[in-house]
Structure 1
């Protein structure tokens, strides 16, 4: 028996089409409910329909449309509320990556060289829904440098924190009540605004904007400005030093610099650094989970936990 496979039927006489042929997307079209144990599985009852379906725009009518049709036919419900379509990855010359062209970037090789976090950020930044993304090794290197910046800035903060983080709250064993300066309060207000901005972008599926906001805040605000401003305040005061007239150590900061004197002001600086770093790690975790989790496990905290289950900062 001779078998013919092709997109066009054979021109010769006597061929019989195989009657046992089915749409190749039929089984994958049942994925949303079949994988959850339809019809009686606990996961199906708990998680169907899902909230977001993410896939490439090129299979919108092949896969997404069939999942909706089969989901409605079998369960009576649309299988997901939102569909997020990512673009295709192209090289720096906007050419589609293919083995024949020799322009494919091997993700495993890139991860070995620059880390998974750098690759993740390179794929997110500059990638809008439904549009193709341009990626190059130079771009991935840039976010490797960002991961190094996160590591080095965090290392400095950790080296200058006490075993338990200072807090303005009076309760808690080992905690120290601190008085924040006007500049400190402004820093925290800007941090909160940044967290809300990132959250707003994520809620609207603007992942590229969220990533860019975090990149610029951590590098240009936290690392370049806040840490530098806090360095003089982290100096351990000499036991022989005494506050100047009209200034009580850690209570009456200079209105010009926002800096106080003594151990109280040092604790306030530690609190600002700890709060900013912890918030940044939580917000960056969905984008760069490996470096953020590693740093998080070294952070002084009263209870060990993983970042993925930490409370989101803007909530």
Structure 2
């Protein structure tokens, strides 16, 4: 009856009966949207207002972003293996999950360790096959959707929402605008944002209730409402993983040139980087007096490259002081040109 009556109203979203239809509101909230962990812990250490954070100086963001096409990482590994602080399907905190991933030196992919939507025994063989690693995590300034937007423009963000209402339970499609409280009880991930043709702004949110729920497991939630906490408290406790170095392992390990070590740092700090710009230099004692000149030439080479990537991409450089080094560098450049070597 609730689904039928709601769909007759002029709302930008629709409901439908799903696998939760035989559950009362209390049963649904306690089973799928409840957590036995005290949620006041989430806010300890969270930056307030417009405090400084990683993307604070970012002035412009794209009109829309969708991270759903990127590689999906394993939720089930966290459910099965991260059980010291978190409680599997009974709930947990994203902060603890980030700490677990850091301690384990990475997390595997969804394809390798697929989601079962139930507690299981940790598969150590899959757990020991990490696809990416992190160096830690940061908090987004609380109750600040503008700050949240800047982060989502660059990467997905973990958030906690109030997901216990009947409309959320039976959500099917459209931009969800249901007015619920801020009793945070369910962790999800913001994987993008956009705007409808009629101007309604929304977040793209990945849920964990399976592809039968919502828009193939996702929900679009209204963005930019008048309440600072955001719809269902989505802006109250956002956090995101950080990585200070590349997750991609180099295929070739060249001895790095002391002459150009500082050059890489300059390029990265300025957020201007070359996709592939090899600085081919034969270093020897008789050339040391010309290091200043060669450094200047190297900088010009980097700035002359027209390939620009996202912040943090590496400048490739190498020291060539032998015939084997020269051959290896030439082969690597050839493989890179063919697209066989990732950067």
TM-score range, shorter chain: under 0.3
Greater helix proportion:
1
Larger Rg: 1
The alignment's TM-score, normalised by the length of structure 2, stands at: 0.22
* Greater RCO, CA 8 A, separation 6+: 2
TM-score by length of 1: 0.24
